[in-house]
Amino acid sequence: MMGDRNILVESFVVGITTLVIGSTLMLLPIEGIWFAYFGTFLVGFMAHIIYESLGLNDWFCKEVMN
């Protein structure tokens, strides 16, 4: 049961991060549907880079998942 809780916490954090980065990208004045697809990729890419550079992914795996 504890593993399920950890996955929910991680999913919540990733969801909030996606909302923040995605909302910020929507403020850019870019026309065309291509940006929706590129923006979706960019949100995941940026979130992963941010978590890795801050060491949060490693910390979460070591401290929370154990």
The pair of three-digit structure tokens given for residue 65, joined into one six-digit string? 């998942």
What is the pLDDT, as a whole number, of residue 15?
A: 86
CB 41 within 8 A of CB 63: no
Q: Residue 33 above 80 pLDDT?
A: no
What is the pLDDT, as a whole number, of residue 64?
A: 74
What is the pLDDT, as a whole number, of residue 3?
A: 63
Q: Residue 1 above 70 pLDDT?
A: no
CA distances from 42 to 1, 3, 9, 16 (A): 33, 29, 22, 15
Q: Residue 5 above 80 pLDDT?
A: no
CB-based burial label for 31 (10 Å; 0-12, 13-18, 19+): exposed
Domain residue extents for the chain: 2-64
